[in-house]
Structure 1
Amino acid sequence: FCSMRVSVVLFSLFVIGSFAIFDPELEQTRLVKFSENDDGVWVTVKQLLDLKQAGVSFKDITDYRDRTAVEVPEGPALPNQPQQKTYVNSLLPELSTVNMQSNVETLSSFHTRFYSTTFGTQAAEFIHSTLKAYASDRPDITVDFFNSTTTKPQPSVIARIPGAVSTDIVILGSHEDSVHIGALGRSPGVDDDGSGTVCVLEVFRVLVDSGFKPNRTIEFHFYAAEEVGLKGSQAVASAYADEQKVVVGMMQLDMTFYDGINNENVVGVVTDNTDDSLNAFLRQLIDAYALIPWVNTVCGYGCSDHASWTSEGYRSVFPFESQFSQHNPYIHTEKDTLAYADLDHGLEFAKIGLGFLVELAATEYMS
């Protein structure tokens, strides 16, 4: 978004915000940026939330403004095409919309999952306990909270299936928080991003139940505080970069339950702030494993957690529920419920996510 539009929106929000009830947390200032190369603008949390409601995406860089960027290790070569079709196709029927619905009903039962609330922490604890239950018979699998002062009190959650041959990492991610225009208003967040969260949970369940032991390490990420500037994913991605971890590729699932205002029923392949080579492979995965076609789309800077990985120099992709202009109009409101959700549409994204993990975690080792 151009600086002129941001300035106009900020001025409008200043006028509107001058009539709001004072809240100490909402009056705190944060440094946010609207493109990779801008230096950032200081705004209040109230203005930040209203910018999001106005459709302006951004990253909160307050805690990273003095960080020196590091060069991350280059990931291994990507496959030319999907190579594990027989195995992946044997797992796809195990993915269940019944499980996805049950989990999203629990997630949306919290008044909100906003990161600074008790509910937000409880949502993270639910995700953690669900992962632990799914992996109860697999002592090799770890499930951990990733705590960060930038997202406190809500932790991110990371589940890890270790690689048998390589410590290189393949990541499937989502975000666990939700938001309402009033920050603490009712925010069921079924689509944004309960949908991506339960898709990732379901892929984890199926891979664990199948006994799959990848050659490369697989991680399942559930990020805290995405809605206020990608804070959770920035904390994780910057830590991985500082530790010089090798990431083969990262896929973000954020909003998968809505098939477009015009019911186009497509996968939007986000082409900005993502990796071209991994996008080419993503399109092949969609063709191989999904029942719906893909279209290219753009979502703007900082629209979801994949952007944190791109900023650190890692390859990332973001398959979206529709063309971005056609996305669910009820997000960030009390109407983001199952009433406007299509779980069968979401199932296609779980298929893509499962294929992504198996193909990249097995490639180069399995025939």
Structure 2
Amino acid sequence: MKRLIPFALFLLSPTAAFAGADDQELWISLGSDALEPVAEAFAKEGWAMPPASLAKGDVTVIPVRESQLESIAHVMHEKFNRCAGFVTYESLDAAEKALVPEPPQRIETLGPPLYTLTNATVANCLASTVAEPNVRGTINSMAAYTTRYYTSSTGVSAANWLRSHWASLASGRTDMAASLFTHAAWAQPSVVLTVTGTTYPTEVVVVGGHLDSTSSGSVAPGADDNASGIASFTDVIRAMVVCNYRPQRTIKFIGYAAEEVGLRGSKEIATYHRNNGINVVGVLQLDMTNYRGTSADIGIVTDYTNAAQNTFLRNLIAAYLPGVTHVNTTCGYACSDHASWTNAGFAASIPHEAVVSQGNPYIHTVNDTISRARPTAGMATHALKFSKLAGAYVAEMGK
């Protein structure tokens, strides 16, 4: 690992010239292939590209200002179809430590072995109970906010609405509780619905997706990115109640804040679980589920994910999603919140709405609305497939 620029020199960086009093200095790690496009975007804004601080392999760390994060996120989408495509840190030391990922956590399972298909009754009930109108309704509710940007008041309101919605779905279930996970550095909280396991409550299964959208200054409905992912697993919560499924392992459904600006919410949450010794036995990430850009229904992301759990997802599709096709795809460095869990040493997977390079071209724009959904405009037919997959995942992992 090379530490290229001493911290003190950042204070002389040209980016400091435009910084306001509240424009926090931060560091981001990104794939070295993104340095030139980021430099070009900075030049268009009249900003000088800051010098690299650290480099390890094909990952580089650079100092930035908080106000620059959204521009970097746009570059990652436009050039690489990554969302977000970089990881944000509050200090150079934190960035340096993160360049060496945590060793894989030893999965301590007292309950049934992982990755087996032995809970078909529950899996089929959940998969048959999730419904397109409910998924569509959550997408529309989330996309109705002007923006869900992590520093905006509407971003905070969207998180509060989601917590209330989940609490309503779980009403009457004493084993289900919705809460907020607050972040000290920005306004928007993450949202967590915990279903406490009946037999092995210390073994935790996570299903998540980011609740924020881009744009601090204009309309950003984020219907596909990522109201769709949130909506896909939200209806699994409802289905669990309808099917009276009380999992043996604890299930946590999480809506992450601040993904678009460097996986900030999921990084804090994954770090919290690692630092507190929480036994997370599997993580499923849903980020963009309602735009079918390729002939295959689901793209299984194979980089920065867990190979054994990816095989398990393929087996779930074969067993419980008849007619649904899948293909392998790659996503690149830090392309979504699964990377936070992978970097923390946990087994994580992300099934995507298409081959990543052929995903939704409208994300990160005012045109990311449900009217752009494919194959059925204005509907959540594609996202429903991911609801069924998430239901099967929860049934078999939670048993």
Per the alignment, in what secondary structure is the counterpart of residue 191 of structure 1? helix
Give secondary structure in 2 for the equivalent of 1:227. Answer: coil
Q: What is the alpha-carbon distance in structure 2 between the residues aligned to residue 2 and residue 218 of structure 1?
A: 32
1:149 CA displacement: 1.4
The residue that corresponds to 1:22 in the other structure is none
How many Å apart are 1:60 and its aligned residue? 0.8
2:297 is the counterpart of 1:266: yes
TM-score by length of 2: 0.81
Q: 1:278 aligns with which of 300, 305, 309?
A: 309
What's the CA shift for 1:139?
A: 2.0
Counterparts of residues 131-150 of structure 1 (less than 5 Å) = 131-150=166-185
Residue of structure 1 equivalent to 2:289: 256
Mapped contact 2:41–2:75 kept (Cα < 8 A): no
SS of the residue 1:54 aligns to: helix
2:204 to 144, 158, 169: 169
Which structure 2 segments of 5+ residues have no match?
1-29, 375-379
Counterpart of 1:134, as a letter, is L
| CA spacing shift, 1:208–1:34, aligned 2, 3 Å | farther
Letter in 2 for 1:303: C
Question: Where has structure 1 moved over 4 Å in runs of 4 or more?
Answer: 31-37, 66-73
Structure 1 stretches of 5 or more lacking a match? 20-26, 363-367
CA distance in 2, matches of 1:283, 1:265: 13
State the match for 2:154 in structure 1: 119
Cα deviations by residue, 1:118-148 (Å, 9 ceiling, x for unpaired): 0000000010000111111012211110011
CA RMSD of aligned residues (A): 2.5
Partner of 1:365: none
Match of 2:12 in 1: none
Cα distance change on mapping 1:275 and 1:70 into 2, 3 Å: closer
Match of 1:53 in 2: 74
Question: Distance between the aligned counterparts of 2:326 and 2:96, measured in 1?
Answer: 39
> 1:32, 1:345 → 2: CA distance?
42
Checking the alignment, whether the CA contact within 8 Å between 1:34 and 1:302 is kept in structure 2 is: no
Distance 1:34 1:231, change over 3 A: farther
Q: Deviations over 1:262-318 (max 9, x none)?
A: x41420000000001111111111112223111000001111000000000000000
Q: Single out whichever of 202-211 and 186-195 deviates more from structure 2.
A: 202-211
Which residue matches 1:154?
188
Quick check: 325-334 or 336-345, which moved more?
336-345
- Determine the structure 1 residue equivalent to 2:40: 12
What's the offset of the Cα at 1:156?
0.2
Q: Are 1:323 and 2:344 matched, yes or no?
A: no
Counterpart position of 2:128: 93
Asked whether 1:44 is paired with 2:65, we answer yes
Whether contact under 8 Å (1:32, 1:62) holds in the other structure is no
2:379 is the counterpart of 1:340: no
CA 36–292 in structure 1, closer or farther in 2 if over 3 Å, else same: farther
1:302 aligns with 2:334: yes
Name the counterpart of 1:23: none
Distance 1:217 1:33, change over 3 A: farther
CA distance in 1, matches of 2:124, 2:53: 43
Q: Among all aligned residue pairs of Structure 1 and Structure 2, give the percentage whose two residues are the same amino acid.
A: 33
* Alignment size in residue pairs: 348
